Amino acid sequence: MTCGHIKFQVSSGPGPKQREIPMAKPMNQLDAIVQQINRLPKIARVPVMSTFFGRAVKFAGTAGIEVEELTYSRCIVNLKNKKKVQNHIGSVHAVACALIAESATGFMVGINIPASSVPVIKTMKLDYVKRAKGDMRAEATLTPEQIEQMRTTEKGETSVKVVITDGEGKEPVIGEMIWAWTPKRR
């Protein structure tokens, strides 16, 4: 990602294509911080972004989530299958899977809304369809239309797509996150 630009996935034919849309200034304080972090070399970006969000969202920090990528249209969050996040059968706990889905979608919504608004999770629907194996990954995406809606309205809601995969690349959890953004209380 070039700082000050948004990359969108646009489908037109057999493969994904990138289209950059220039942005004048950060949408809010969170966006400004993320832009600064995204200027770092990739080797530093992941640990700095993960530490920042781990301190801002204590539960995410306690669980040890890793923020691999955060742009206006995509966020990838990883969670290692460590003892502290395991269930009784040795896989990542259901609530930890919910945490990475909520984190990936929420971080991305947070950088897209106006400074006068606050993001709020409205609905979290997770279907656990098979046993997860190994580390977990949540990839959330927004369409250009969703981003435009968030950036131009002080209040609204949208369903954010999230794909949750395990260490084998399978999708053991199917999720839907509906996020709202409302004006901050004055």
What domains, with CATH codes, occur in the chain? 5-183 (3.10.129.10)
CB within 8 Å of 23: residues ≥ 6 apart: 4, 5, 6, 72
For tokens 């199917």, the residue is 174
Q: Where are the alpha helices (DSSP H) in the chain?
A: 29-38, 42-56, 58-63, 94-112, 144-152
Whole-angstrom distance, CA of residue 171 vs CA of residue 168: 9
DSSP string, 79-114: E---GGGB-TTSSBPHHHHHHHHHHHHHHHHHHHS-
Residue by residue, pLDDT tens for the chain (186 residues) are: 333 344 433 333 344 444 444 445 898 999 999 999 999 998 999 999 999 999 999 999 999 999 999 999 999 999 999 999 999 999 999 999 999 999 999 999 999 999 999 999 999 999 999 999 999 999 999 999 999 999 999 999 999 999 999 999 999 999 999 999 999 986
Two tokens, residue 77? 């969050």
CA distances from 79 to 20, 65, 157 (A): 29, 5, 27
Query: Could you give the count of Cα atoms lying within 13 Å of 159 in the half-sphere of its Cβ?
Result: 5
Whole-angstrom distance, CA of residue 103 vs CA of residue 101: 5
Per DSSP, the three-state class of 69 is strand
The pair phi, psi for residue 118, each rounded to 5°, is -130, 140
